Structures are given as C-alpha cells and as structure tokens.
Amino acid sequence: MFRLHLIPYGTKFDIVGKSKYMLALAASIVILCFSFVVFKGINYSIDFKGGYIFELTMPNEPDIQSLRKELGSFGLGEVSIQQFGAKRDIMVRLGKSGEGKEQEVAIQKVKDVLGEGVVYRKIETVGPKVGSELVSNAIKAVAFALIAMLCYIAVRFEWQFGICAVAALLHDCAIIFGMFSIFPMEFSEISITAVLLTASYSINDTVVIFDRIRETLRKYKSMGIKDVINLSLNETLSRTTLTATTTLLAVLALYLFGGKVIASFALPIMVGIVVGTFSSIFVASPLLMFLNLKRDKASGDNKPKAANIG
C-alpha cells in the first residue's frame, strides 16, 4: 500500500542544535510585528471603527471605480466596494458613521449616487462605541483562549510545557496581527476567527510533539534531554509537514476560488498554518532546553505505581 511521506522516516536533523538561530529569528520577527502594531496600528474595518454597510443588487453591472470615486467625494470616510455572488451584487462600506439626522443624510447621499432600480438587501450602521466594544471583546477572546490553553497544557504536562506552548502561541498571534499592520489588509470580525483558528491549529501540532517527547523520556531513561527532543521532533516531522501541507492546500483552494470575501478570511489562515508549523517545531519544543525540564516529572515517573499483589 502506497503511503505519502513528504519527509522520510528516520531523519536525524539536529533541530535543537540550530534552535538559537531559529529562536533569534522568531524573536526578531515578533519584535518587528509588535513595533508595526504599536507605531503604525492595525487597519481596522468598519466593524471596529464604525460606519455604514450596504448590501444591494444593481439594475446593471456597476462601474466600481466610478462609484468609489463618487462616494469618496462625500467625506464619509474610506470607501470599500466588493462584488459577491453575481456581478450586479455589491457590498458598499463607508468608514465614517454618524448619529440621528446625520445618518439619514449620509444614507440618502449613497442612494442618490447609486440611482434608481437598486434592490437594498441590508443597510447597517455601526457606531464608534460599538466598534470600541468589539475591539475590547476581541482582545479578551484571544487572551482568554491563550490562558485556557496554558491551563490545559500545564495540567496535562508540566508547567514548562505550558510556558513553551503559550510562547509559541504568542509568536503566532503576534505575526498574524503584524500582518494586518504591515500589509494593506482590513482587520474585521472574521479576522478574529482566523487568529483563533491559527492558535488552535498550532496548539494541536505542539501537543502531538509534546506527547512524543514525554513518551521518549519514558522509553529512553538514560538519553539526554537535547537528544530526546531531537528524536521526538524527527519522529513527528513527517506527520507535522504532511498535515500542514494538506490543510494548506485546502485553504489555498478557498483563497483562489472562494471569492474576495472568502479570500480575506483564507489568507491569514494560510499564513497562520505556516507560522504555527514553524513555531511547533522551532519554538515550543527547543524552548524546553532553557526551562530546566525534569525528566522524572515530565515522563510521569514520579507517579505512584500500583502494588504487585499475588
């Protein structure tokens, strides 16, 4: 029976031996991303900043460039127009919201530009207060997810494993947030899902490797910690790369053929898969070398054994 192996079994890569270079690279990327987020900020979408959202069907195929230019002349903030479904179906987003009569005037201006015969499926207004609450809730959601994962890893393994896992997750999340700051991409509600999916995917890979490290510690009592981690990483390398590749291909199909709305969701997930795979191999596991991992506790040898009766 044919089995696909992107990386053959029995590899003996000295991954831990190169860990200082990889950790330095990871730290440099995180610092760069963090600097962009702090000094440049994130390009929040209307979901966070507030504004107007119109979903509609035009009587004829619209001239997107012309509509964007006309709507931009009203001073209603950043204008975003996307086609979805049929060519006559568009979504209009305006990045500046108002209250009371100001909202009515702004909505009427948009309707005047779009003209007659337009079928409006949805008109929504997102206020700045709602946007700020959404930012706060998004930060809390990511923070609580990381804390919950830390608790899970610390209970299932040892505290050293928990710290290493969360360090890798912070690395992944920092790069995803940095991507939204460095590149002209909007951070929306969907982006929060992409961040959490990245964290979930990364922690799954990390737990698989940690399980193998613990098994290897039990199996080879006299092997050094560095050799144990290296052996475990090499034994799981084929599984890790194959899982990442197949998942990446599936998300790539969504990015290429799912339309612009799906593509904006798929792109950060693709980056997250690559980053999460890198951190599981080159960040989470090698960090155990610097946290004084105890063999007896990590392997479970300190647990009381059942008495041999009879």
Q: What is the 3-state secondary structure (H, E, C) of the chain?
A: CCCCCCCCCCCCCCCHHHHHHHHHHHHHHHHHHHHHHHHCCCCECHHHHCEEEEEEECCCCCCHHHHHHHHHCCCCCCEEEEECCCCCEEEEEECCCCCCHHHHHHHHHHHHHHCCCCEEEEEEEECHHHHHHHHHHHHHHHHHHHHHHHHHHHHHCCHHHHHHHHHHHHHHHHHHHHHHHHCCCCECHHHHHHHHHHHHHHHHHHHHHHHHHHHHHHHCCCCCHHHHHHHHHHHHHHHHHHHHHHHHHHHHHHHHHCHHHHHHHHHHHHHHHHHHHHHHHHHHCHHHHHCCCCHHHHHCCCCCCCCCCC
Better-scored residue on pLDDT, 94 or 297: 94
Average pLDDT over residues 79-83: 77
Q: Is the pLDDT of residue 100 over 70?
A: no
- Can you give the pLDDT at residue 25? 92
Q: How confident is the model at residue 252 (pLDDT cuts 50, 70, 90)?
A: very high
- Can you give the pLDDT at residue 286? 87
Q: How confident is the model at residue 304 (pLDDT cuts 50, 70, 90)?
A: very low
16-43+130-299: CATH number: 1.20.1640.10
- Can you give the pLDDT at residue 295? 61
Q: Is the pLDDT of residue 140 over 60?
A: yes
Q: How confident is the model at residue 128 (pLDDT cuts 50, 70, 90)?
A: low
**Nearest CA among 94, 95, 85 for reference residue 119:** 85
Q: Where in the chain is the domain with CATH 1.20.1640.10?
A: 16-43+130-299
Q: Is the pLDDT of residue 296 over 70?
A: no
* Chain mean pLDDT for the chain: 80
- Can you give the pLDDT at residue 4? 57
- Can you give the pLDDT at residue 104? 76
pLDDT per position as a tens digit, 177-195: 898 888 878 787 778 888 8
- Can you give the pLDDT at residue 133? 72
pLDDT per position as a tens digit, 222-241: 888 888 899 999 988 888 88
Judged by average pLDDT, the poorest of 201-210, 249-258, 259-268 is: 259-268
Query: Which residues have C-beta within 8 Å of that of residue 139, sequence separation ≥ 6?
Result: none
Q: Where in the chain is the domain with CATH 3.30.70.3400?
A: 51-126
CB hemisphere CA count around 119 (13 angstroms) = 6
> What is the gyration radius of the CA atoms in the chain, in angstroms?
25
Tell me which residue has tokens 């409006």.
120
Torsion sign (Cα): 61, 65, 66, 69? positive
**CATH number belonging to the domain at 51-126, selected among 3.30.70.1290, 3.30.720.210, 3.10.20.30, 3.30.70.3400:** 3.30.70.3400
Q: How confident is the model at residue 249 (pLDDT cuts 50, 70, 90)?
A: very high
Q: How confident is the model at residue 26 (pLDDT cuts 50, 70, 90)?
A: very high
Q: Is the pLDDT of residue 40 over 80?
A: yes
- Can you give the pLDDT at residue 305? 42
- Can you give the pLDDT at residue 3? 57
